[in-house]
Chain A
């Protein structure tokens, strides 16, 4: 005979304000099997858990229902409490009467009714719960970091410093990421390269870190503690071991007509190239779509001049399979495409550039050696107009609804640096709001206005067109003075919205990590688990999770690393005991379950079973609980009802259905 205890949480007033918790407890006490029901202000508190413990002892409870917040919040808390007070943790069920009741309903009567029904369903289910024992699975003590920007590098360094092996997979020829393209960084004006390159060198030299550049993740299998990942090492056509990085091949390559991705297409690069001078590894790759030899078989200049004999035109892509205990996504961001923003003339006028392009122009290693010129004619600009929020905070469906967070600060930075180099410049910034939350951020912005005399105008730019004299004509509104402005400029810089890097959806799909409508990866809990994906063993670092600046990215990278270290420090992980189970008496050996199992956890063999009192040797299914992840696909595929899912059994779910429809 089951003895169920029901515990109704007030959650302060979160639940109690809209749900009559006393009535819920009183009503549920009348349910068959319920021997105890009480309500308390905070069930999850130490005192609340003790109430549960006391009731377990006094009333010899065999099952517990907690009517509280979402099980995604506190299921574990209450399971642990149950275990501490002597009953199996899987004899606990949660009725979600906060997120799915009190928070969305206003009418107290209606909400109370619903809470009672949800509680009733949980009671009906827990009556059928069976004690389950969690198993263990081993942990592969190596981590994979996808993306070799500052987020990935920092995460890898932190994990490696704790003594664990880390692989970085980076799809471009060098690690360094977006930060390597920047000139200086706010709010201290450190040179990006000066603070980034030592970290790149350290990552390369670290005995625990292996770099896979010019490589992509191809396939991911397995689960937390034991992922199996196929990495495609794209053909580099240059032998990494032989190349000395002298750069002669790049200088002599006759084919220099490919737009330089690293410089955002502001100049061209050779077919054999390293993206930038401080690239790590300092080994070039041959762009097979540009190389004359690879396309026509004629040329071969690089092979002829390479003294090390490192060029290998016959190289092929290579797939290697590695095992990992944890995976960190650090795939970073790109600026959005501006095809839908014709009013700014980005695609028609060379002197309209994005801020990342300006960053390359200002960079001493950039296409102009750090000399900011008009891309159309190479002349020095006299007037520069910055346009903020291009595609950010956009409700017209052309851009992104969110704030890209970094633009206000880098615009202030760029304006100040430009004024430093070219004091005669006339700089105007059109903004919607200036957002500068962050340590020393507002002070920084105020310096741009007060000390550097940058002209900030609250207003929106409606149109950028070419004036008759070859300059740009900017038409805008000044919202504070309520007037229309027309001004000529030599350069217009668009603070373009940022978005997750291309291909992140494919990666998220492979990892079964959830992603939001903007393609940012979703965290397990917005406040309490910000660096973990809801998928166990997957962690998030940097802008792939949401817009952030460099200090925040580095902080998050460290946080992700510490989570990974925590995971890899364990020898064994506790597995989910809610796995499928085959009742071999009913199994007819049809193999339907085996076909739908995504983990290959079901096998068939001849076994002796007792049917209708007679022994019989027959082909039946067995579930490997170490592999089963508990999706339940097999239970529905099974035509004879032999396959069931522990913790979510057919009888349990039907009992819930019945209780709700009663």
Chain B
């Protein structure tokens, strides 16, 4: 990787719960609260829909950071989904270092539908965190990049 860090654009995948953070991202949008274009959002019905496999797959395919946003504890649209997400991610994140992915490439944040400001701030902060780590080369599946 001969990329210069200044021109390097990280790839960030954000899994957002339809009921809170996805709406928070919409609010950030309608309030014109900018965050870098590196973030691409995937809409899921609940943070508990996010299989740890999705996150590993993203890293494998060359993502530099993966963030999961859900409803605040106690506010889950489906009552308990975000608690499952929290437990699953805690377990996954504790193993990432062993798999060759720095833990700081991942993050879980609770963002409500009313928190457009927080959504934008969270994304800006997370990108900075990922930028510091540089490109994710250890787990990237080089074969996927060829075509």
Q: Is the CB of A515 within 8 A of B75?
A: yes
Q: Is the CB of A509 within 8 A of B75?
A: yes
Q: Is the CB of B81 within 8 A of A656?
A: no
Among A100, A107, A635, A650, point to the contact of B41 (Cβ < 8 A). A100
Tell me, yes or no, whether A247 is within 8 Å of chain B by CB. no
Q: Is the CB of A657 within 8 A of B61?
A: yes
- CB-based nearest A residue for B24: A514
Q: How many residues of A contact B (CB 8 A)?
A: 54
Q: Is the CB of B40 within 8 A of A508?
A: no
Q: Given that A633-B48, A633-B78, A653-B44 are contacting pairs, would A99 and B61 also be in contact in the complex, using a CB cutoff of 8 Å? A: no
CA gap between A661 and B120 in the complex, in Å:
21
Interface with A: B30-38, B96-104, B125-133, which one?
B30-38
Tell me, yes or no, whether A432 is within 8 Å of chain B by CB. no
With contacts defined as CB atoms under 8 Å apart, how many contacts are there between chain A and chain B in the complex?
A: 161
B residues bordering A, Cβ < 8 Å?
11, 13, 18-20, 22-23, 25-26, 28-30, 32-35, 37, 40-46, 48-54, 57-58, 61-63, 71, 74-81, 84, 88, 112-115, 120, 144
Q: Is the CB of A514 within 8 A of B19?
A: yes
Among B25, B45, B54, point to the contact of A657 (Cβ < 8 A). B54
Q: Is the CB of B54 within 8 A of A632?
A: no
Shortest A124–chain B CB gap in Å is 11
User: Which of A101, A517, A633 is packed against the most chain B CB atoms within 10 Å?
Assistant: A633
Shortest A611–chain B CB gap in Å is 23
Q: Given that A100-B41, A512-B77 are contacting pairs, would A534 and B29 also be in contact in the complex, using a CB cutoff of 8 Å? A: no
Q: Is the CB of B81 within 8 A of A630?
A: no
CA gap between A110 and B49 in the complex, in Å:
30
Q: Is the CB of B77 within 8 A of A72?
A: no
Beyond contacts A515-B114, A635-B51, A648-B45: 19 other A-B pairs, Cβ-Cβ < 8 A, are A70-B22, A73-B26, A96-B43, A104-B33, A105-B37, A117-B40, A514-B20, A517-B114, A535-B19, A596-B48, A598-B80, A632-B48, A633-B81, A636-B48, A636-B50, A636-B84, A636-B88, A657-B63, A661-B144
Q: Given that A100-B41, A512-B76 are contacting pairs, would A661 and B11 also be in contact in the complex, using a CB cutoff of 8 Å? A: yes
Residues of chain A within 8 A of B79, CB atoms compared? 512, 598
Q: Given that A71-B43, A661-B62 are contacting pairs, would A509 and B29 also be in contact in the complex, using a CB cutoff of 8 Å? A: no
- CB-based nearest A residue for B62: A661
Shortest A640–chain B CB gap in Å is 13
Q: Is the CB of A96 within 8 A of B81?
A: no
User: Which of B25, B62, B63, B84 is packed against the most chain A CB atoms within 10 Å?
Assistant: B84
Residues of chain B within 8 A of A121, CB atoms compared? 40, 42
User: Which of B44, B63, B114, B144 is packed against the most chain A CB atoms within 10 Å?
Assistant: B114
Shortest B41–chain A CB gap in Å is 6
30 CB < 8 A contacts A-B: A71-B43, A72-B26, A100-B29, A103-B29, A103-B32, A104-B29, A105-B34, A105-B37, A111-B37, A509-B75, A512-B79, A514-B19, A514-B75, A515-B75, A535-B19, A598-B79, A630-B45, A631-B46, A631-B78, A632-B81, A633-B80, A636-B84, A637-B84, A648-B45, A653-B44, A657-B57, A657-B58, A661-B11, A661-B62, A662-B144
CA gap between A318 and B15 in the complex, in Å:
44
- CB-based nearest B residue for A661: B61
Among B37, B49, B58, B71, point to the contact of A661 (Cβ < 8 A). B58
CA gap between A112 and B53 in the complex, in Å:
29
Residues of chain A within 8 A of B13, CB atoms compared? 657, 660-661
CA gap between A194 and B106 in the complex, in Å:
61
CA gap between A578 and B18 in the complex, in Å:
13
Residues of chain A within 8 A of B63, CB atoms compared? 657, 660-661
Q: Can you list the 7 inter-chain pairs with the closest CB atoms, starting with the nearest?
A: A99-B29, A632-B49, A516-B114, A661-B61, A631-B78, A633-B48, A631-B46
- CB-based nearest B residue for A125: B42
